[in-house]
Amino acid sequence: MPMKYKDREEAGKVLAQEILKRSKRLNFSLIDNAIILAIPDEGIIPAYIMAKELNIKMNLIVVGKLKIPGANIGFGSITVDGTKVLNDAMINRYRLTPDKIGEIEKNEINRMVEKIETYDIVQINLENLKDKVVIIVDEGAQTGYSAIAAIKSLNLTDSAPRIISVAIPAASFQSILTINRYSYHLLCPNIVDSLYFEIKDAYSHYHKLSKEDVFNYIDKIKKENLLFV
């Protein structure tokens, strides 16, 4: 039976412990000169806990989900700079035209820009990531597209990090295979080999975060001097 975390905070603690174990096995530190980038909203909690436990700084990398109109079904992910990952099979199944895809992408980018402005958090100067170990953190991965969009976005810059690692508390087996094509450093303590995996099933206590919840964690990050810019 797949393991369950009590909540996202416990997941963050487990990820922090696993990164230390992985570093010891590799005889190579994955936390020296490292920065955590959390995929909000829900990814901010395990990322914040990891930052505290490992004493490294963090920020957010906003990734949007591209959804089939009228359904809660995703066909890809996109970052605010327009970097995207698309599922061609889903696009063909739902007969999405290039114009419709472009409209959905534009709306999602606008939503992400609004989210960044609402959260009022200083965006990272990507040049400051050069030669660093970047750890992308989310609450889980069902398809892996969000993590891949984040990886591709970071790799597009002239100041690409030395290593891009991905740390996810729980994920479907298929998403792990997909992410592995883009990152050699992938950490996931709970890999679920099921066609029906949902992220919420990895937690005993699961709820969507409100804006106020996210504001509270951003406030903690700032007050505890964990914010990297």
pLDDT of 2 higher than 80: no
User: What are the tens digits of pLDDT across the range 202-216?
Assistant: 999 999 999 999 999
| CB of 54 closer than 8 Å to CB of 72 | no
pLDDT at 1: 46
> Which has the closest alpha carbon to 41: 107, 103, 105, 121?
121
Can you state the percent helix, strand and coil of the chain, rounding each to 5?
45, 20, 40
Is the pTM higher than 0.85?
Answer: yes
User: What are the tens digits of pLDDT across the range 79-98?
Assistant: 998 999 999 999 999 999 99
pLDDT of 72 higher than 80: no
User: What are the tens digits of pLDDT across the range 43-66?
Assistant: 999 999 999 999 999 999 999 999
DSSP E strand boundaries for 34-144: 34-38, 58-60, 63-67, 74-79, 84-86, 133-137
Write the CA distances from 64 to 56, 150, 184, integer angstroms: 25, 10, 23
Burial (0-12, 13-18, 19+ Cβ within 10 Å), 70: exposed
Mean pLDDT for 150-158 is 87
Identify the structural domains of the chain with CATH numbers, from first to last. Answer: 8-56+123-223 (3.40.50.2020), 66-118 (no CATH)
Side chain identity, residue 73:
I
